[in-house]
Structure 1
Amino acid sequence: MLQKVGKRFLVRARFTWRSLFDDQFLLVTNTLTGGSLLAMGDVVQQSWEIHKEQSKVLDWKRIGYTFVMGCSTGPLLHHWYGRLDSAYAGRAMNTVVKKVLADQLIISPIIGIWYFIGMGLMEGDTLAEGWKDFKGKFWEYYKADCCVWPPVQMFNFYYVSPKYRVMYINVISLGWDVFLSYLKHRVSQMTATPL
C-alpha cells in the first residue's frame, strides 16, 4: 500500500515538475526561480553578517527587494537567451564562443546596472546615487563576473537545453547572488571606521 502511494506521488511530482518547463509556464518558472534564489542569496549573506555582528537581525525588506530584483531579471534572461539562440543557432564551438562573448559584453553589464540601481531605488537612494554606487563597484563586479560566468555559460550554451538555460543560471547564480548582496551592502572601510 505504502509503495503504491509513494510511486503515485513520484509520478505526479515528475509530471508537475515537467509542466513548469512547458512553453506556457516557462516565463513564470524563470521569473519566480530568479527571485527566490536571489532572495536566498541575500539571506545567506545577511546570515554571515549576523554571524559577524550579533546585534544585527535579518532585514526582511532587503530580502523582499532582492526577490523583486530577481523576479525582474527572470524575464530579461528568458528573452535574452531566446534572442541569442535565434541569432546564433547551434552548438558548434565558434557559435558557443559568440554567445558567451555577447552574454559577457552585453547582458552582464546591463544586469549589473539593473541590480545596483534597482536595489538603490527600492532602498531609498536616488537614481544618481544608484549610478554612483554602480560606477564605484563596477570593476570589482565585472572582474568577478568575467571569472565566474564565461565557463558557466560555455557549459550552458553547449550542453543545456534552451528551455532549461535560465533555471540552470538561476541555480548556479546562488553563490553569485551572495557575492552581489555582499558587494551592494558592504560598508566601505572609510565610512566604517571613525576618524
Structure 2
Amino acid sequence: MRTRILQQLAALARFYAPLFGGRNLIITNTVSSGFLMGAADVIQQSLERRRKKTHQWDTDRIAHMFITGCFMGPPLHYWYLWVDRITPKKGSQRIKTVITKVALDQTFAPAFGCWYFVVMGLLQGHTLSYSLNEFKEKFWDYYLAELTLWPTAQMINFLFLPPHYRVLFVNVVTLGWNVYLSYIKHKN
C-alpha cells in the first residue's frame, strides 16, 4: 500500500516537474499566486458568512484577490532569483546565508505588503493616495503578523527547498496568510 502511494506521488511529481523549470516557472508562480490568493478570500468570506447569515459571496472581491495574486507572482519570482544570486550557494556558511536571506526578505516585506494594498485598492476603484493611506493605517497589524509567521517559514524555505519550489512553498503558506490579509483589508 505504502509503496503504491509513493509510486503515485512520484508519477505526479514527474507529471508536474516541467511546470517548475525554464520559462514555465514564472507562469506557474504567477498562476499559483493568483489562485491561492483567490482561494484565501473564498475561505475568508466563508468565515464571514458563518458570522453573518445574510452575507452574500462577493465575486468581485474574489476576482480582485486573484488578480492581485497574479500581480504579485512575477515580483516574488524575480525576488527569490535575486536573493539566491546575491548570496553564497554552498559551503560552511549555509546557516549564515539562510539568516541573511531571511533578513533580506523581512527588510522588503513592507514593500510586498504595500504592493498588495495598492493593487487591491486600485482594483476596487480607489485612488493611489487612498490605497497608500489604507496601508499606513493597517501597517502595524500587517507587519506584526508578518513577523510572527514569515521568518520561520522562510528559514524552512531557504534551508530545505530548492530554488524552483520557493514561490510555490510561499504560496502554500500564503494561503493562510492571505486569509488574514483579506480579513485586515476588508474589515470595517
Letter in 1 for 2:139: F
RMSD: 1.6
Q: Does 1:75 align with 2:74?
A: yes
1:163 corresponding residue in structure 2 = 164
Query: What is the SS of the residue equivalent to 2:23?
Result: helix
1:97 corresponding residue in structure 2 = 99
Q: CA deviation at 1:124?
A: 1.3
Distance 1:179 1:11, change over 3 A: closer
- Once the two structures are superposed, the pairs formed by residues 1-195 of structure 1 within 5 Å of their partners are 13-90=12-89, 92-106=94-108, 108-187=109-188
The Cα offsets for residues 98-125 of structure 1, whole Å up to 9 and x where unpaired, read as: 110110011x111110111111111111
The 1-side partners of 2:29 and 2:49 are apart by: 30
Distance 1:65 1:95, change over 3 A: same
* Structure 2 residue ranges without an equivalent (≥5): 1-7
Distance 1:10 1:145, change over 3 A: closer
The 2-side partners of 1:13 and 1:159 are apart by: 21
Letter in 1 for 2:120: M
Q: CA deviation at 1:50?
A: 1.0
The 1-side partners of 2:67 and 2:75 are apart by: 13
- 85-94 or 127-136: which moved more? 85-94
| Larger CA Rg, structure 1 vs 2 | 1
The 2-side partners of 1:13 and 1:126 are apart by: 44
Query: Following TM superposition, where does structure 1 have runs of at least 4 consecutive aligned residues deviating by more than 2 angstroms?
Result: 9-16
The Cα offsets for residues 42-64 of structure 1, whole Å up to 9 and x where unpaired, read as: 00001111111111111111101
2:4 corresponding residue in structure 1 = none
* Structure 1 residue ranges without an equivalent (≥5): 1-8, 188-195
The Cα offsets for residues 69-103 of structure 1, whole Å up to 9 and x where unpaired, read as: 10111111110000000100225111111110110
The Cα offsets for residues 98-153 of structure 1, whole Å up to 9 and x where unpaired, read as: 110110011x1111101111111111111111111100000110011011000000
TM-score of the pair, normalised by structure 2 = 0.91
Letter in 1 for 2:106: Q
The 1-side partners of 2:183 and 2:9 are apart by: 38
